[in-house]
């Protein structure tokens, strides 16, 4: 099990691979640490020395702007040395195996790998192969998990809504292919959220999704009724092996978040999206840019949450960031 390798024999966290099985105390501890890092981004000199002398390699085998950039900024704000590997020209394109690439980078005294890969389980495979002093963060693997996105979403929800036990959270869209949705569901249920709903066409809802402790809806208006938080998901057409929806226009007509549909939720509901957004397909621009949207704060919060995860893994013990 992934949970068995995320911590060492002394209970210290070695890797960050999934939110599945993570306790509420662990999640809240990371969120509290992230809260202390928010102010770093507001300083004139946006640096703390917690990871000075550490080397972090961003090993991305899938295209990413938001995730890779926020990890890079997070590492640099912690004063780590950051290496970004361009996989389009890396040795893996010349036939070298994934683990051989990792071992060669280990030999360059890498302390932590941030891994994004199109195959589920890739980060887990790397975590099982690295020596004890090297850490691995999963930045998204196939359909499996995107735990740092899941936690930055929890951080954002807590900042606006505070008490998870009172919340009804609706996750809307391509649940079937979404690693983000899985990480969100595990985190939300661990935090004792009153009700977690998933909404989408039957073809984009995993079989027996209710086993994860959620309520499933195929009618958007019904699923949004009384929701406190709405999380919209991107249609992941690159992961679809066949046409699972009639077309983009039809999808928006049935599942796009418009001002009218937003009124089904509570008046103070917040709207989130992990990005990238497809305006006019899953969300109307007037909603994405409207007063209930917290989509841009999600991006900002992602830096602090990823700083917290990197700092905790690399052995930083200070709960508050110090001025260099």
Specify whether 138 is located in the same domain as 180: no
Does residue 101 surpass a pLDDT of 50? yes
Q: 123: domain range?
A: 2-145+300-313
Tally of domains within the chain: 2
3-state secondary structure of 5: helix
Specify whether 79 is located in the same domain as 156: no
Q: How far apart are CA 224 and CA 168, in angstroms?
A: 9
Q: pTM of this prediction?
A: 0.91
Instruction: Give me the chain's average pLDDT, please.
Output: 91
Question: Is residue 93, in this structure, part of any structural domain at all?
Answer: yes
pLDDT at position 240: 45
pLDDT at position 88: 59
Q: Which range has the worst mean pLDDT, 81-95, 169-183, 226-240, 244-258?
A: 81-95
pLDDT at position 11: 81
Backbone angles phi, psi at 141, to 5 degrees: -130, 110
Does residue 319 surpass a pLDDT of 50? no
Q: Under 8 Å CB-to-CB from 97, ≥6 apart: which residues?
A: none
Question: Is residue 324, in this structure, part of any structural domain at all?
Answer: no
Q: Taking CA 42 as the corner, what is the angle to CA 41 and CA 47, rounded to the nearest 5 degrees?
A: 45
Count CA within 13 A, CB hemisphere, residue 165: 1
Question: Is residue 322, in this structure, part of any structural domain at all?
Answer: no
Q: How far apart are CA 305 and CA 245, in angstroms?
A: 34
120-177, pLDDT tens digit by residue? 999 999 999 999 999 999 999 999 999 999 999 999 999 999 999 999 999 999 999 9
β-partners of residue 195 are: 168
Q: Under 8 Å CB-to-CB from 167, ≥6 apart: which residues?
A: 157, 161, 193, 194, 195, 228, 229
11-64, pLDDT tens digit by residue? 888 999 999 999 999 999 999 999 999 999 999 999 999 999 999 999 999 888
């Amino acid at each position: 099990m992934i949970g068995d390798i995320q911590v060492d024999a002394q209970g210290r966290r070695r890797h960050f691979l999934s939110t599945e099985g993570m306790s509420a105390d662990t999640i809240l501890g990371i969120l509290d640490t992230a809260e202390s890092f928010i102010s770093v981004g507001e300083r004139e000199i946006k640096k703390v020395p917690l990871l000075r002398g550490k080397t972090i390699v961003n090993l991305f085998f899938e295209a990413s702007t938001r995730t890779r950039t926020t990890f890079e900024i997070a590492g640099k704000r912690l004063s780590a040395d950051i290496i970004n590997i361009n996989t389009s020209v890396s040795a893996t394109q010349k036939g070298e195996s994934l683990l051989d690439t990792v071992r060669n980078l280990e030999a360059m005294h890498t302390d932590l790998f941030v891994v994004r890969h199109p195959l589920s389980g890739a980060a887990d495979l790397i975590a099982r192969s690295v020596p004890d002093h090297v850490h691995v963060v999963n930045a998204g693997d196939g359909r499996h998990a995107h735990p740092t996105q899941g936690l930055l979403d929890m951080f954002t929800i807590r900042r606006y809504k505070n008490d998870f036990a009172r919340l009804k959270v609706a996750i809307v869209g391509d649940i079937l292919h979404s690693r983000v949705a899985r990480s969100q569901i595990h985190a939300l249920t661990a935090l004792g959220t009153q009700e977690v709903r998933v909404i989408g066409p039957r073809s984009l809802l995993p079989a027996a999704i209710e086993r994860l402790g959620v309520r499933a809806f195929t009618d958007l208006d019904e699923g949004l009724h009384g929701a406190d938080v709405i999380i919209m998901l991107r249609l992941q057409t690159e992961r679809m092996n066949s046409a699972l929806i009639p077309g983009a226009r039809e999808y928006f007509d049935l599942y796009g978040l418009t001002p009218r549909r937003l009124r089904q939720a509570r008046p103070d509901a917040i709207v989130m999206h992990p990005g990238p957004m497809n305006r006019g397909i899953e969300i109307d621009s007037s909603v994405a840019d409207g007063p209930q949207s917290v989509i841009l704060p999600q991006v900002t919060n992602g830096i602090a949450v990823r700083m917290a995860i990197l700092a905790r893994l690399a052995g930083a013990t200070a709960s508050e960031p110090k001025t260099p």
